Amino acid sequence: METVIRNVSDIGSADRRSLEHVIGRQLADDQRLLIRVIGPDVSLRAPTSATSADRPLPEWCNVYQGLTDEAITSLEKVVLTRADLTRAAE
């Protein structure tokens, strides 16, 4: 397996356009491009983080569990008011 890393700002304009066409988006000058070349015998399994959808959510994700819709709406109003960073500092 070989890995090639290039600064986007160091890539010529024609090559850069070709690479942007391949990846389907424009590249910024402050980015780096990482290209990995692998042999045919390397397994292309999904990374383990991709299977995180199969795992249950942590307990703290159930913050609304047991609340009625009205209670959730009331709580949401308070949270969104406190999150409004445009209000004047006291």
Whether the per-residue pLDDT at 11 is higher than 80: the answer is yes
Distances (CA, A) of 75 to 53, 60, 78, 88: 28, 16, 5, 22
Instruction: Give me the residue spans of the domains in the chain.
Output: 2-39+58-82
Question: What is the tens place of the pLDDT at every residue in 21-73?
Answer: 999 999 999 999 998 888 887 776 656 555 566 778 888 888 888 999 999 99
Q: What is the pTM (predicted TM-score) of this model?
A: 0.44
Please give the residue that has the higher pLDDT: either 13 or 81: 13
User: In what helix (H) or strand (E) does residue 76 lie, and over which residues does it extend?
Assistant: helix 69-82
Whether the per-residue pLDDT at 8 is higher than 80: the answer is yes
Q: What is the pLDDT of residue 81?
A: 82
